[in-house]
Chains A and B, each alone.
Chain A
Amino acid sequence: MNWFARTFNYSIGRKIIMALTGLFLVFFLIEHVFGNLLLFANDGGAAFNEYSHDMSHNTIIRIVEYLLFAGIIFHFVDGFILWSKNRSARPIRYQMSKPHEKTKWTSRNMIWSGSVILIFLVIHLKSFFVPYRITDGMDGKTLFEITRDAFANPYYSAFYVFAMILLGLHLNHGFSSAFQTLGLRHPNFYSGIKILGVILSLVISLGFASMPIYFYLQTIMN
């Protein structure tokens, strides 16, 4: 076997891939949430539409976009492979098992928060990315209008908020966990990483969740 296969076939190698792709996705999300704040500009979507147009016509951004899709695929495929290996490592379960009260719910349920994010991603890409970038199915509407109309639907908005809560929980553990996986842990800075992880998970999940809430409230007030 060559070096690559030998390194990344092992679970530790797969975890390194998960950590690197996970952190890459976090940096994308930070950009994404701040970019989308333009939705609140109260200018009928002019700034947001212009930003989206610029992003989708920038060569570098388009290359990063391919990396991003590859990252998501590697991340969740490795996630499922590791999870199924872990299931088979304990074929007979305990009759009575009480997780230590100091272990976090988020860390024990990454696969479930991740799975909700995955379902969300499919729906999310189908409602915004596919019509905007692939099928040209915008029916003459701008991206801002598509967004506004989608969030007028209470079920759609509720699912969106739910998925963002789980994304927050995923990142609440995931961010510092990725540093641990990469061996980047030292008492000098690790508590800072943990705090940064909590702040980032809050900013990202609350930031995204505020958008459907804002547009839904706008619809019912008009």
Chain B
Amino acid sequence: MSNLNLTLKIWRQRNANDSGKLVTYKVNNISTHASFLEMLDILNEDLVKKGEDPVAFAHDCREGICGSCGCYINGRAHGPEGGTATCQLHMRKFKDGDTITVEPWRAKAFPVIKDLVVDRSALDRILQKGGYVSVNTGAAPDANEILVPKPVADEAFTGAACIGCGACVAACPNASAMLFTAAKISQLALLPQGKPERYRRVEDMIAQMEDEGFGNCTNVGACSLECPKQIGQNHIARLNREYILAKTFNPPKSNEVEVI
């Protein structure tokens, strides 16, 4: 395969207070076997040689499992390919002479730290409100002690696949974190281990999601289409259902119990 000569327009922003702008760079002789992040590595080597500040971008595993990476590439979260994270995007998806625009995730809840790196701790704070099950430590329980039907386990797993990359927020026209939050709530609501905290979880996580300044869901579906794990809208429906159930059937707290 031939090598590519490309024009890059990359968002450069020194820090959270800088206003930032798109800066144009040329990269030449990029192998079509390179990954998108390797292409940025090559650009950065060039910049370092010239004594310029390299482009900051987030990455870790580079195999689509950690959720660290994420850029808005040519107007799409994680680039033009579906079902992949930015690190799994390859340069063979581009043509010689292409201009590629690279921007950070945009959301009020995701402030830019530097260049293409945004602060996604808002997602962590949503998780801290209930994206877990409380268990006693001690000897490991027997694996098959609690039975889980296969279809339930499968459905829960499609939600558990979320890697927390934030592409759903980036792709959503409303910068909503519904798909991320739904993936956690839905997964744990399905499994017996998650049931005891089910109602408290949905109320607390949704309250946190709202407080972080994410938008709300208008059922556009862009999130599922851009999600590297292809997490479906059915999880958002389950989140909505859990919310309604929690609001109608959650047993009253001790201070709310009716006195006969």
Contacts and interface: CB of A to CB of B under 8 A. Distances in A.
| A3, A10, A82, A96 interface centre (most CB from chain B within 10 Å) | A96
Nearest to A101: B225
B260 interface: no
Contacts of A90: 106-108, 174-175, 215
B104 to A, nearest CB: 9
Contacts of B121: none
B103 to A, nearest CB: 6
Contacts of B247: 3, 7, 13
A89 interface: yes
Contacts of B7: none
A78 B163 CA distance: 33
Interface stretch (A23-31, A160-168, A176-184): A176-184
A103 B222 contact: yes
B226 interface: yes
A85 B207 CA distance: 15
Given A10-B207, A93-B106, A95-B101, A108 B220 contact: yes
Nearest to A12: B243
A107 B221 contact: yes
A140 interface: no
Nearest to B237: A185
A98 B243 CA distance: 32
Q: How large is the interface on B (under 10, 10 to 19, 20 to 34, 35 or more residues)?
A: 35 or more
Contacts of B75: 94, 96-98
Contacts of A183: 237-244
A185 B234 contact: yes
A173 B219 CA distance: 9
A98 B239 CA distance: 28
A89 B215 contact: yes
Contacts of A99: 173, 222
Interface in B209-257: 210, 213-222, 225-226, 233-234, 236-244, 247
B72 interface: yes
B22 A184 contact: no
| A85, A182, A187 interface centre (most CB from chain B within 10 Å) | A85
Given A85-B215, A89-B107, A96-B75, A181 B175 contact: no
Interface of A: 3, 7, 10-16, 82, 85-86, 88-100, 102-104, 107-108, 110, 173, 177, 180-185, 187
Given A89-B107, A90-B175, 20 more contacts: A7-B247, A11-B215, A15-B217, A16-B244, A86-B218, A89-B174, A89-B213, A89-B215, A95-B103, A96-B101, A97-B75, A99-B173, A104-B221, A110-B218, A180-B219, A180-B233, A183-B240, A183-B241, A183-B243, A184-B237
